[in-house]
Structure 1
Amino acid sequence: MTTLSDLNTVDTGAFVEALRGIYEHSPWISERAASLRPFASVAALKQALQAVVTQAGENEQLSLLRAHPELAGKAAIAGELTAESTGEQAASGLNLCSAEEYALLHALNAQYNEKFGFPFILAVKGPTGRGLTRTAIIATFTRRLGNTRVDELHECLRQVHRIAEIRLNDLLDVQHLFGSQVMDWAETLGTISDSPENLTCAYMTPAHQRTASQLRDWMREAGMDAQIDAVGNVVGRYAAGQPDAKTLITGSHYDTVRNGGKYDGRLGILLPIALVRHLNERGERLPFHLEVIGFAEEEGVRFRSTFLGSSAITGRFDPVLLDQQDSEGVSMRTALAAAGHDPADIKAIARDPASLLGFVEVHIEQGPVLLERGLPVGVV
């Protein structure tokens, strides 16, 4: 097995050879990155390779894109793909297309090349690495045909980097402990909605209550003592070895805007659950209590009042809000009672600041900064 240490110490020729299949038929990328060694981590290596492509001129970038095969195209049918591309297309069943699917993909490939001047590129292994379905691939293909050339050039380069990342992970046997599980959980929650057409989860609706129950169950399965409090927060506690230890709180909100995203807020709940599950499986305890809180409400969709969950935790919940009404004339007080909560208990939710270490939240980026800079995470 190739290791990062191997890549850092071999000569340039061996480095380029080891990374031969990472960027399709484009050894110039690893040749230029070789001078940047040693790399402190696999992430640093990935970023260095991406930086080479970013700093290249458009002609070289186009050459890189044009080195990629069409999806289910002539090269695939003729068995002329690289081993990496063959495995990736097979993972999504593109080698099993029906005659109608082959015809449709052939037409889409032709339209795309005519419009943009380079092939359609998609990391068909998908975010979990298990492969996108042919239906999802065709839908993405069709949607992206509507993009501008500039946007599609950037998107294809982003997909190229994702393909390279997957291949590099395979080469170096990088195992992601939490990513697939977190994405699977997010997909499950994404099916629980107030609307059949999109993801909408407003405060104290049936979908909201089902989401809370599911989060509580996952917390318990992960090894936490979990409950739903009087305002609807889902609170999971992973106790420290010392009962008098202080508490670190992490989490985010699980309600959504109308037509919301699967990871907005929820990533900050699901990732800590996965982390606690990992700790619990290893029999490890932290030197502090860890509370994972799924805050019941932040977006203000139903009652036009935001941050209900976190305001209760900080002792700043305004009881006047209980008389706010939704568009159908249902008060917040009534909605809470219908869900089995007693508004009189909300005051007791407040935490004593002296018992806390602090609060940290993981959140999906909602801007272009990390994406444009090719960075995996930012700390603010």
Structure 2
Amino acid sequence: MSLTLAALNAASTAEFARLLDGTFEHSPWVVERAAPMRPFASLAQLKLAFVRVLREATHDERLALLRAHPELAGRAMVSNALTAESNDEQSRAGLTACSPEEFATLQRLNAAWNAKFGFPFMLAVRGPRGTGLTRGQIIAEFERRLANPVDHELEECLRQVHRVVEIRLDDKLGHEPTLGNRILDDAAALAVHSDPGFAEHGLLTVTYLTDAHRACARQLEAWMREAGFDEVVHDAVGNVVGVYHGADPASRRLMTGSHYDTVRNGGRFDGRLGILVPIACVRALAKSGRRLPYGIEVVGFAEEEGQRYKATFLGSGALVGRFDPAWLDQADAAGITMRDAMRGAGLAIEDIPALVRDPARYLGFVEVHIEQGPVLAEAGLPLGVVTSINGSLRFVGEA
């Protein structure tokens, strides 16, 4: 039977530490310091309590925590001295079945790492899904991070400890992050589509109305239908729009979403996270038969980045009446005008003016976005609310 939050909240400090034994490698003091922060209303709150403990710990205490961890495929593994948790993690990643060449590489990397940093290399080897990274992925990450500065790696290794702890807590409390796993899987599935010249090198680039872009649109549309949206349309500018009605279908809507095009050599979560998260939320609502007091309108905006044509925010601009018809005559690097690209994709250009939304029909707009900076990572927080935004202008000049 899995451990419960209720049992943890009701336990004495000693029992609390015993129940969570093995969560932090040979470092029960972290758990003990979190005990006075009870009661925990959620598993997320428990995880954040541990983040707070380490944030308030001294430099020497943090260093001692890192040094309590074993090397990857190191002496502790060879001598069967790993904790049960570490043994499970290294086994799932295949580190107990290294080839002689892989084992030699890891020993070399461990020695170089320890000489430079003075604490073991930390990596949550069970990966984002908790099922295990490959040995090749682990070695590549090891080699990449070996070039980082010491201060950077001290913080990164502590972040990896938190990820390890998160997975261990999920195991102890029988928690399966189903929604999160689906979002990871969907982001990976979308990232399969990339423009020629980039796809061959494993790079993600999806520009407006290319074959890869249109494949992404079809996939988003299919996922919206599968999730249980009441209305799904692929509009005249290429946006993919899904509507999940409120308890009263005539009620106002909350709009959310983001873009599915990318910059050159972009990341799989930039923009797309803001589409996949609300799709997952609607899927959960529809599965449980729940209707909210308002509708949800999710928009996968067709274009934001301005990578193919010298125009940006084509998707959102159309919804607020700022699609400039002059853009249609712009040509890309291959001489294809936007007008021809849109017609080739089967878009009804003449219907673009009808896409303008009436603000009175909406409660507002929110966007989930991956952080593109260090603030949340440095604060040890999983989520932040933006209170202001930095605008930008682009200029084209000739020398």
The reply to whether TM is greater than 0.5 is yes
Q: Which position in structure 2 is the counterpart of 1:277?
A: 283
Deviations 1:24-80 (A, max 9, x none): 000111222222223333222222212222222222211111111111112112221
Normalised to the residue count of structure 2, the TM-score between the two structures is 0.92
Q: Indicate yes or no: 2:77 matched with 1:70.
A: no
Q: Secondary structure at the match of 2:365?
A: strand
- The aligned runs of 1:342-357 (5 Å cut-off) are 342-357=348-363
Q: Which position in structure 2 is the counterpart of 1:317?
A: 323
- The aligned runs of 1:203-352 (5 Å cut-off) are 203-224=208-229, 225-352=231-358
- The aligned runs of 1:1-380 (5 Å cut-off) are 1-194=2-195, 195-196=198-199, 197=201, 198-224=203-229, 225-380=231-386
Counterpart Cα distance in 2 of 1:248 and 1:46 = 30
How far has the Cα of 1:374 moved from its partner?
Answer: 1.0
Counterpart Cα distance in 2 of 1:240 and 1:29 = 45
Paired AA for residue 108 in structure 1: L
How far has the Cα of 1:241 moved from its partner?
Answer: 4.2
Counterpart Cα distance in 1 of 2:10 and 2:373 = 38
Paired AA for residue 161 in structure 1: H
Counterpart Cα distance in 1 of 2:321 and 2:363 = 17
Q: Secondary structure at the match of 1:250?
A: strand
Deviations 1:207-244 (A, max 9, x none): 11111111111111112232211101011122334332
Deviations 1:90-126 (A, max 9, x none): 1212222222211211111111111111111100111
Counterpart Cα distance in 2 of 1:237 and 1:151 = 44
Normalised to the residue count of structure 1, the TM-score between the two structures is 0.96
Counterpart Cα distance in 2 of 1:304 and 1:78 = 61
Counterpart Cα distance in 1 of 2:159 and 2:24 = 12
Counterpart Cα distance in 1 of 2:316 and 2:323 = 8
Paired AA for residue 83 in structure 2: T
Deviations 1:246-299 (A, max 9, x none): 222111000111111110110010111111122222222333322211000111
Counterpart Cα distance in 1 of 2:128 and 2:328 = 41
Counterpart Cα distance in 2 of 1:128 and 1:141 = 19
Paired AA for residue 32 in structure 1: R
Paired AA for residue 230 in structure 1: A
Root mean square deviation, CA, Å: 1.5
Counterpart Cα distance in 2 of 1:245 and 1:34 = 45
Q: Which position in structure 1 is the counterpart of 2:389?
A: none
Deviations 1:319-367 (A, max 9, x none): 1211122222221111111111121111111122222222221111111
